[in-house]
Amino acid sequence: MGKKCKYCRSKMNDTATVCGVCKIDSNKTKRDLTKEEKGIWYASINLRVIGALAILGGVLGSIAGLISLVVPAKDGTAPIVVVLTIALSSFFAYFGFSVWKYKQWCYVGGIVLYSVSFVLNLLTANIFSAFFAMVFLVCIAYPTSRKFFYKQL
């Protein structure tokens, strides 16, 4: 089994000391990192947290949708809305796993996903969720995040 970079958690060759994704030497201590390397490290933490929260939200949304299919709501929600909720929640989980692997499509896909989520939350007056969608959008659209997804570090 290959080792993982201690800064961005991506897979590395057993013989390599410099990560192929973040380009940080894994033998360096956190104290020895340059200002630019610390920025890269913080951006990787942000992306990992966003991925974890997307997975958590996707799984919980899918479970809630499946429960809604089995136990119909009193307000008479149409089954197509529940099916669309399950599909969107599943996509959020898939997006989270892809962010963890720094897939290239996640940059544009994340901007679209969180922009739509932000607008829909504003339209439904869900300010709390709109705030988090905006924060995630800013983290995904950050220039260092773009460099992660396009392997330009």
pLDDT tens digits for 34-44? 999 898 899 99
> Which residues share a beta bridge with 11?
4
Q: Are 153 and 143 in contact (CB under 8 A)?
A: no
Provide the pLDDT for residue 111: 94
Total tally of structural domains belonging to the chain: 1
| Six-digit token string for 113 | 């996903």
Instruction: Please tell me the distance from the alpha carbon of residue 112 to that of residue 46, in angstroms, as a whole number.
Output: 18
Smallest CA-to-CA distance from 28 within 17, 20, 12 is with 17
The residue range of the domain holding 89 is 3-27+36-149
| Six-digit token string for 126 | 């869900």
Smallest CA-to-CA distance from 38 within 27, 47, 29 is with 29
pLDDT-derived band at 76, boundaries 50, 70, 90: low
CA 100 vs. chain centroid, Å, equals 7
Tens of pLDDT, residues 34-75:
999 898 899 999 999 999 999 999 999 899 888 888 887 676
Q: Tell which wins on pLDDT, 110 or 83.
A: 110
